[in-house]
Amino acid sequence: QVQLVESGGGLVQAGGSLKLSCAASGRTFSTYTMGWFRQAPGKEREFVAAKMWIGGYTRYADSVKGRFTISRDNAKNTLCLQMNSLKPEDTAVYYCAARQSPDISTDGGRYDYWGQGTQVTVSS
């Protein structure tokens, strides 16, 4: 079994920054792709960013490209999302997800494990 625990959410003003972390445990992650998704009230879950665990290839949603950076620490089994220049439309619950595949996918249905989510609120 795989456990994912997010932290780092909170309330921030527009233009500010937050860093989310996802601690992974339970399995080795050498061939897992890890990603971040978000869901705003009344909206569907959407892809934010993903990173291959080996090789470092990353992919971002157009809406966050240039503002968000996904990173990982293999030794600590930790995935991070640095969010800069935050906008009110970034307000959502952010979820960490793991996919038992070396390939990146923007489809949340292709991810096998999910964290409980952490709330990010950006005030205008």
Q: What percent of the chain has pLDDT over 90?
A: 77
Q: What pLDDT score was predicted for residue 124?
A: 94
Task: Return the higher-pLDDT residue of 69 and 1.
Answer: 69
Confidence of residue 109 (pLDDT cuts 50, 70, 90): very high
pLDDT of 72 > 90? The answer is: no
Residues 31, 37 contacting (CB under 8 angstroms): no
| Both structure tokens of 106 | 């923007």
Q: What pLDDT score was predicted for residue 91?
A: 98
- Average of per-residue pLDDT across 40-60: 92
- Average of per-residue pLDDT across 98-124: 94
* Phi and psi at residue 118, to the nearest 5°: -135, 135
How far is it, in rounded angstroms, from Cα 51 to Cα 37?
12
Q: What pLDDT score was predicted for residue 26?
A: 78
Confidence of residue 55 (pLDDT cuts 50, 70, 90): confident
Q: What pLDDT score was predicted for residue 103?
A: 87
Which is nearest to 49 in space by CA: 79, 16, 76?
A: 79
